[in-house]
Chains A and B, each alone.
Chain A
């Protein structure tokens, strides 16, 4: 009897011991047009839940899914009214308010121009040529957020111009990273959620490196600490681009000029507790340039870091450790 008790006690101890050494696990998958991964410590299983959550977001907001609410809007005619669910209405109103708050430097109605430049998903690198001036001018005519009128209760949207199209791709990875983080935060000890490069830290701080926007021997340009509960999004001209006759054409289109953004900012990282906001502001910063970007960061109370063409790094409210010393930290950071 004593022996049995001893063995039982021992087994308990062994299992306690094993739990003291939590093994880090990784969950991989593909959704929303890109790979996602979750590095986590913990024993719960949530792979199916994460997959169905991401697929649901894709089915609702993807511009390439024929049955999404975005596709319904994009294929609608002049004056059509499209009904929105409560959740959709909230996403639309948040995005439209960020479009206003960033002086339309973040603008999901730029989609016709994105298509004209050949950056609509799935983007493939082979043999891209820039569009003609004519094609740009034509597409630009359709690009304006005021061709989409959101009702006051956010439950419907009226489209004013048939050729106008929306794409929430610049916002939904952040939205998805936040949604996944919310879903798993009570099930894991800690986790790093990565949806197509937008990452969310869950239940502990993580050290994050930001990729060098140009060729480099270093693994990353600088690093910073992403606090528990924060979501970090990075946009840059180095992600989807093609080179034609020696000129680089990248995927972040400035709706004012109709051309790929040329603001001097080639990489923008934004950190906040709201993934959707981080994602939108990162895109806005690349279009807006240093001065306006820092103003947006301040207005929205987010942290961020910009890399300019001249290889200067501007940090706002964030401590960055430069790794690639060809990048220089700009000194007068917070007096903007």
Chain B
């Protein structure tokens, strides 16, 4: 009789607990993700041979032409559309938009890095 009572209480407790625990975990996970996921950057710095030659706002859609390279900013992302280097690694890197991401073209000595903070949602 005693045992049965304990058993029931235990199983009741288990379902309720599991329930709340998982909801809490799910919420914590979501909050952690939103805090620690790499933030979107706001600007792309373009370096040539280590020297900063341009800062492109990621909120301003534009096509930036260099001698050996065409850089496109569109929809908050930046990428190399064309480059005349042999390996095309910079083109293959694809679209970057998170703080700290970079595209590097060794043959042309060009580097593009995402940085910055901004206050508006688009620049026209």
- Dominant SS at the B interface? mixed
Residue of B43, B61, B119 with most partner-chain A CB within 10 A: B61
Contact residue among B18, B118, B124 (Cβ-Cβ distance under 8 Å from A219): B118
B122 at the interface (CB under 8 A from A): yes
A208 and B122 contact, CB distance less than 8 A: yes
Which of these, A3, A17, A219, contacts B43 with CB under 8 Å?
A219
Q: Do A220 and B34 touch across chains, with their CB atoms under 8 A apart?
A: no
**Which residues of chain A come closer than 8 Å to B121, judged between CB atoms?**
39, 192, 206-208
When chains A and B are docked, how far (Å) is the Cα of A14 from the Cα of B29?
11
Instruction: Give bound CA distance, A35 to B19, whole Å.
Output: 48
Given A6-B15, A6-B19, A28-B77, answer yes or no on A194-B61 (Cβ-Cβ < 8 Å). yes
Q: Does A312 have its Cβ within 8 Å of any Cβ on chain B?
A: no
Q: Which residue of A lies closest to B61 (CB)?
A: A35
Whether A220 contacts B72 by the Cβ 8 Å rule is no
A211 to B60, CA, bound (A): 8
A102 proximal to B (CB < 8 A):
no
Which among B15, B77, B122 is the interface contact of A2 at CB below 8 angstroms? B15
Question: In the complex, which residues of chain A have a beta carbon less than 8 angstroms from the beta carbon of B118?
Answer: 219
Which of B15, B34, B123 sits near A210, CB closer than 8 Å? B123
The 0/1 profile, CB within 8 Å of A marked 1, for residues 41-52 of chain B is: 011000000000
**Listed A/B pairs (10) with beta-carbon separation below 8 Å:** A10-B19, A26-B76, A34-B61, A35-B72, A39-B75, A197-B61, A206-B121, A207-B119, A208-B124, A220-B120
Q: Which residues of B contact A (CB under 8 A)?
A: 15, 18-19, 22-23, 26-27, 30, 34, 42-43, 57, 59-61, 63, 65, 72, 74-77, 118-124
A residues adjacent to B (C-beta < 8 A):
2-3, 6, 9-10, 13-14, 17-18, 20-21, 26-28, 34-39, 125, 192, 194, 196-199, 206-211, 219-220, 223, 232, 234, 269, 323
